[in-house]
Amino acid sequence: MDNMIRIGEVIKELRTERGLRQTDLAKEIGVAGNTITQYENNTIRPSYEVLVDIANFFNVSTDYLLGLKDF
């Protein structure tokens, strides 16, 4: 599977595991609420900066978000 397609699934999985709404995550990383929806639906891809912010927030590696590593 294309890793960039998987990123939306990973973000959604991490978010829902922590009981967060899309708007909660958006506020934490400084993006608009509908942006998270677009990431999770793979409509748009996060910038490198936002990818790092998401990884830091969830305490995972960017490689994990990209589907390159298991953690």
Q: What is the CATH number of the domain that holds 32?
A: 1.10.260.40
Residue 70 lies in a domain: no
Mean pLDDT (the chain, rounded): 91
Give the mean pLDDT of 48-62: 97
* Residue 8: inside a domain: yes
Tell me, yes or no, whether 11 lies in a domain.
yes
- How many distinct structural domains can be found in the chain? 1
54 is a domain residue: yes
Q: Does any domain span residue 52? A: yes
Q: Which domain holds residue 25?
A: 3-65
Sequence-separated (6 or more) residues with CB below 8 Å from residue 6 = 66, 67
Mean pLDDT of 25-40: 96
CA dihedral (65, 6, 23, 51) in degrees, to 10, reads 30
Which comes out higher in pLDDT, residue 33 or 50? 50
Residue with tokens 């708007």: 23
From the list 67, 29, 42, the residue with the least C-alpha distance to 20 is 29
